[in-house]
Amino acid sequence: MPTHWYNLAADLPEPVPPHLHPGTREPLGPEDLAPLFPMNLIAQEVATERYIEIPETVREIYGMWRPSPLFRAHRLERALGTPARIYYKYEGVSPVGSHKPNTAVAQAYYNAIEGTTKLTTETGAGQWGASLSFAGALLGLDVEVWQVRSSFDSKPYRRIQMEAYGGICHPSPSDLTEAGRALLKSHPDTTGSLGMAISEAVEVAAQDPNTHYSLGSVLNHVMLHQTVIGQEAMVQLEEAGDAVPDTVFGCAGGGSNLAGLAFPFLGRNLREGTKTRLVACEPSACPSLTQGEYRYDFGDVAGLTPLLKMHTLGKDFVPPAIHAGGLRYHGMSPMVSHAVNLGLMDAIAVDQDDALQAGLIFARAEGIIPAPESTHAVAGAIAHARAVTEPEVIVIGLSGNGQLDLPAYSPYV
């Protein structure tokens, strides 16, 4: 298990464009973010050093499930008839069942040592809300979550999971906030979106000095915390005799799972000249990287967040209610967007039908039912593996399991 997080900012050929104040359009200063985040996370958001030490308390909690396993997918290889050697890095072994606790624990820790007593957040499929609730339980913080309505209605067990950890979960948009009430008035039948839920969580945090906001993806410090995934995978691949993979596939919504797996490989490409291809697999129903514009936009619908330079479909874009609720975001991590814009990473869009069919192929070969989000990476990897004619090494980021998302598979079985 790594002792430090890896910061891609140290190796990028050009710096990531700064976040801007929504009023002045000037680069944000620490004082602009202080109402929402603890100072340690603000410092990590703009950090340029290559490695940042993981606090001992965070490492101790990580030890409950880390290092996560890297498996060779022998049975999937045989099922596909491919000459490729396929590996998958499995984050579903965490207590919550996904990669999200890697940053939830870190964020809860930094908030707790600064004296924060409560965190608010948004969640799509619910894995992030459950992860922050889990972290809050371990570190003594109250957690209040706004869950995108389509997922709140279709994934009741995720809400119960949050409540089991002591969190409070509301459907979004709700009548509990000014932003939510405005959205319900203008769009009474909306299925919700992550952008809407962010507006509600930010509004509540900004009004209480003892409450901070916590984001499960998109921001630089979240990408940083997730790099334990890729760092572990690099060591595990070396032990397996395949130190430099040809292609790495990760699902992409806000960018945290993809960045966590891919950024350490990208950093090595930049420093050492290796040629690992990194592929972001996003849903065709919410294709920010493949069809969005690369420009400054708000991270939420109400315009309460800083302006972020990212690939975006526009803050008012409301994606269809696809099963991969964790990927239903109008924008993308500024750091991931910057890497794609520089040509350092590739992106593809995957249809929901293709993704979930790929999930079934994987489940019937490897025994693990992937989360709907993860199936996008699986689909990208399967299509690639079927097309190759020479041996190569493929790595899949299996960001979580689908044990609480089984209704997504019902039309396909």
pLDDT at 304: 81
Which residue has tokens 């069942």? 97
- Do 344 and 239 form a contact (C-beta atoms < 8 A)? no
Alpha carbons within 13 A on the beta-carbon side of 280: 35
Give the pLDDT mean for 114-121: 97
pLDDT of residue 323: 67
**Band (325; pLDDT cuts 50, 70, 90):** low
List the CATH code of the domain at 65-98+227-412. Answer: 3.40.50.1100
pLDDT of residue 302: 80
Q: In the predicted model, what is the mean pLDDT of residues 253-271?
A: 97
Beta strand extents in 75-163 (DSSP E only) = 85-90, 118-123, 142-148
Domains of the chain by residue range: 65-98+227-412
| pLDDT at residue 301 in the model | 82
Q: What is the pTM of this model?
A: 0.95
261 phi, psi to nearest 5 deg: -80, -45
pLDDT in tens, 343-355: 999 999 999 999 9
pLDDT tens digit string along 298-315?
A: 988 888 889 999 999 999
**What is the torsion angle, in degrees rounded to the nearest 10, for the CA atoms of residue 359, residue 365, residue 369 and residue 371?**
-40
Q: Using N-to-C axis directions, what is the helix angle for 178-186 and 194-206, rounded to 10°? A: 150
pLDDT in tens, 234-261: 999 999 999 999 999 999 999 999 999 9
Q: Are the C-beta atoms of residues 348 and 381 closer than 8 Å to each other? A: no
Share of the chain above pLDDT 70, in %: 99
pLDDT at 155: 84
Nearest to 19 by CA among 366, 305, 385: 305
Residue 245: C-alpha distances to residues 224, 236, 241, 249, 343 (Å): 22, 12, 10, 11, 18
Q: What is the mean pLDDT of residues 276-283?
A: 97
pLDDT tens readout for residues 206-221? 999 999 999 999 999 9
pLDDT over 90 at 195, yes or no? no
293 has a pLDDT exceeding 90: yes
Please name the residues in contact with 412: beta carbons below 8 A apart, sequence gap of 6 or more: 353, 356, 357, 360
Q: What is the pLDDT of residues 163-191, one digit of tens each?
A: 999 999 999 999 999 999 999 999 999 98
pLDDT tens for 3-62 read 999 999 999 999 999 999 988 999 999 999 999 999 999 999 999 999 999 999 999 999
Q: Say if residues 73 and 366 touch (Cβ distance below 8 Å).
A: yes
The 10s digit of each residue's pLDDT in 151-167 is 898 888 999 999 999 99
- Strand 346-350's sheet: what is its strand order? 70-72, 85-90, 393-398, 247-251, 277-283, 346-350
